[in-house]
Amino acid sequence: MRSVLQLRTPEDGSGSPGLNGSHKVRFREPQIEMAHGAGGKATRRLIDGLFVPLLYGVQGAHAELSDAAHVEIDGTRVAITTDSFVVRPLRFPGGSIGELAVNGTVNDLAVSGATAVALVVSFVLEAGLPSGALESEVRAMASAARAAGVSIVGGDTKVVEHGKADQMYIATTGIGRQLTGVALGARLVRPGDRIILSGPIGDHGITILLARGELDLEAGLQSDTRSVLPLVEALVAAAAPGLRWMRDPTRGGVATALNELALDCGLGIHLTESRIPIRDEVRGACELLGLDPLHIANEGQFLAVVAPEYADAALAALHATAGGEAAAVIGDVREEPAAAVLVTTGYGGSRIVDMLVGDPLPRIC
């Protein structure tokens, strides 16, 4: 379950609720449902209505959420983020839960404009888990950390009864150093800005769906899990003054990430369908199952909003970096439709793409 919550020191100095008493909880639902963890609308309601008022007292309009928080320690700005990983099956073509756990947190820091320096990891293990399975994941994490240039400096392990924890849950918390010259935020986005996507969508989500074996589909696909830090660094080097916002479109896909942007900046996000990079196999699987590729999870891609005068340089920098060859400008920002994401076909037909409710389900109708 990817947690979208991040802890951020409010710029307006509204302070912690502990000093003034707790702020009003607006979350009224009687119990927690699966949808609350899916990364879409229900998750936002939980965060806006329960976590935000109680944890940092931002009242009124919803808090802008990003992938990492920034704190200042003795004058140095440090980025910090956390995430937990639940996936079935644990191993799949292209990776495993261990790699997701490392890359996911490295990427959250990267799209917040920070280089991951250190991770700590927390394991919740199900009693009965074969030790070999754990060893595989720890090896995978070590390898992913090396590849990403980050150190794993500590961790914790808990074991729960058989039947809980789906074999293994992993949570990673990372701290990172801010890249200089980078200022990010939805409030910086302007009409005319361009939307850049680092590579083809849907590889991870479809790989997982197929790996579960319930749909009896085979394809030569693998998860795209990787650290996007090298690409982000190249982008920053080429276009930092024009870089407005970044996000990694994990659970809920590109549609959910861009809807969050649209809600946060109040502007309209326009995408050109034919410009969105997607592999044939992902497209085929989505058509077959009636899924929208824009809702499918990615673990090795990121979105960036860049001022128009920097877009060419940004794209060139990505194309010149290993792994960024398929990067593309997929759309732009406009005044209308406010707070919504619109996708347009080659002949001028358009549709609104909304945030997901729950997980994408195959359909036959």
Partner 1 sequence: MCLAIPGKIVELVDTQPNLAVVDVTGVRRRVDLGLLQDDPPVPGDWVLIHVGFAMSKISEQDAAEQMRTLAMLGEDQAALEEVRGYGLESSP
Partner 2 sequence: MRFIDEFRDPEIVTRTAEEILRLADRDRHYRFMEVCGGHTHAIYRFGLKDVLPPNIELIHGPGCPVCVLPMGRIDDGLSLGAQPDVIFAAFGDMMRVPGAHGSPLEHKAKGMDVRIVYSPSDALKLARANPDKHVMFFAIGFETTAPSTALTLKRAKSEGIKNFSVFCNHVTIIPAIRAILDSPDMRLDAFIGPGHVSTVIGCRPYEWIARDEGRPIVVSGFEPLDMLQSIVMLLRQIKRGVAIVENQYKRVVPWEGNRAALAAMAEVFELRPFFEWRGLGFISQSALRIRESYAAWDAERVFRVAGVRVTDPKAAQCGEVLKGVLKPAQCKLFGRECTPERPVGALMVSSEGSCAAYYNYEHRKMAAAAPV
Q: What are the residues binding partner 1 (CB under 8 A)?
A: 215-220, 279-281, 283-285, 287-288, 290, 363-365
Nearer to partner 1, 113 or 202 (CB): 202
Among 214, 218, 220, 322, binds partner 2 (CB under 8 A): 214
- Name the binder of 218 from partner 2, partner 1, none, CB < 5-8 A by kind: partner 1
> In whole angstroms, how close is the CB of 289 to partner 1 at the nearest point?
8
346 binds partner 2 (CB under 8 A): yes
161 binds partner 2 (CB under 8 A): no
Q: Write the DSSP string, 79-138.
A: EEEEEEE--SSSEETTEEHHHHHHHHHHHHHHTTTEEEEEEEEEEEEETT--HHHHHHHH
Among 135, 156, 325, 336, binds partner 2 (CB under 8 A): 336
**CB within 8 Å of 5: residues ≥ 6 apart:** 47, 51, 65
Nearer to partner 1, 220 or 349 (CB): 220
> In whole angstroms, how close is the CB of 203 to partner 1 at the nearest point?
12
> In whole angstroms, how close is the CB of 224 to partner 1 at the nearest point?
16
26 binds partner 2 (CB under 8 A): no
Query: Using CA atoms, how far apart are residues 110 and 30, in angstroms rounded to an integer?
Result: 36
284 binds partner 2 (CB under 8 A): yes
Query: Encoding tokens for residue 227?
Result: 């650290």
Query: Using CA atoms, how far apart are residues 226 and 147, in angstroms rounded to an integer?
Result: 9
Instruction: Map the footprint of partner 2 across residues 285-324, applying CB under 8 A.
Output: 287, 289-290
> In whole angstroms, how close is the CB of 362 to partner 1 at the nearest point?
9
> In whole angstroms, how close is the CB of 281 to partner 1 at the nearest point?
4
Answer whether 261's CB lies under 8 Å from 333's CB: no
Among 21, 60, 130, 349, binds partner 2 (CB under 8 A): 349
41 binds partner 2 (CB under 8 A): yes
- Name the binder of 214 from partner 1, partner 2, none, CB < 5-8 A by kind: partner 2
SS3 270: strand
Among 93, 230, 277, 337, binds partner 2 (CB under 8 A): 337
Query: Encoding tokens for residue 235?
Result: 């982008």
Instruction: Map the footprint of partner 2 across residues 221-280, applying CB under 8 A.
Output: 268, 280
Query: Using CA atoms, how far apart are residues 297 and 288, in angstroms rounded to an integer?
Result: 17
Closest-CA residue to 171 (of 358, 359, 2): 2
Please report the sign of the dihedral spanned by the C-alpha atoms of residue 206, residue 207, residue 213, residue 217: positive
Query: Using CA atoms, how far apart are residues 105 and 81, in angstroms rounded to an integer?
Result: 7
Secondary structure element (H or E) that encloses residue 334, with its range: strand 328-334
Nearer to partner 2, 130 or 346 (CB): 346
CA 11 vs CA 14, 60, 149, 180: distances in Å:
8, 15, 31, 19
- Binding-site ranges for partner 2 (CB under 8 A): 33-35, 41-42, 214-217, 268, 280, 283-284, 287, 289-290, 336-338, 340, 342, 344-352, 354, 357-358, 361-365
